[in-house]
């Protein structure tokens, strides 16, 4: 088996490992796997079996969808975290004239006694 023939196997392995890394949320591994996939892709033989390439394309498509879902989840978590930290300082609302006003939150400073 030549180096070029082995490239498709390395690419398939990288795609499968990327799928597992996405599910595990292992973003560090995904960076290294992307580099491995790029290297294998550059060495891919143009005569590679079309069936294997189709299967690989399908797996890459599923990985892309999983990454989009992961990114959406991360954005939702960031928004929620921001909401939680903002509520501690009070909530901003608007009065009947449209002027912003803050309600709730700490009235003064909190001092610890020791």
Number of domains present in the structure of the chain: 1
Does 46 fall in a domain? Answer: yes
- CB under 8 Å to 66, separation ≥6 — which residues? 19, 22, 23
| Integer Cα distance of 67 and 60 in angstroms | 10
Tens digits of residue pLDDT in 15-31:
999 999 999 999 899 99
Does 103 fall in a domain? Answer: no
Does 101 fall in a domain? Answer: no
Tens digits of residue pLDDT in 58-92:
999 999 999 999 999 999 999 999 888 877 777 77
pLDDT over threshold 90, residue 108: no
- Terminal-to-terminal C-alpha distance of the chain: 73
Does 106 fall in a domain? Answer: no
What local confidence, expressed as pLDDT, does residue 106 receive? 61
Domain with 78, as residue range(s), is 3-90
What local confidence, expressed as pLDDT, does residue 104 receive? 72
Judge if pTM exceeds 0.95. no
């Amino acid at each position: 088996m030549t180096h070029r023939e082995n490239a498709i196997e390395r690419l398939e392995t990288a795609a499968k490992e990327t799928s597992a890394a996405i599910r595990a949320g292992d973003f560090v591994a995904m960076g290294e796997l992307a580099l491995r996939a790029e290297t294998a892709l550059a060495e891919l033989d143009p005569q590679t079996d079309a069936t294997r390439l189709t299967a690989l394309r399908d797996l890459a498509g599923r990985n892309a969808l999983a990454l989009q879902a992961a990114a959406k989840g991360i954005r939702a978590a960031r928004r929620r975290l921001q909401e939680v930290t903002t509520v501690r300082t009070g909530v901003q609302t608007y009065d009947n004239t449209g002027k912003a006003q803050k309600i709730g939150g700490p009235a003064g400073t909190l001092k610890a006694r020791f």
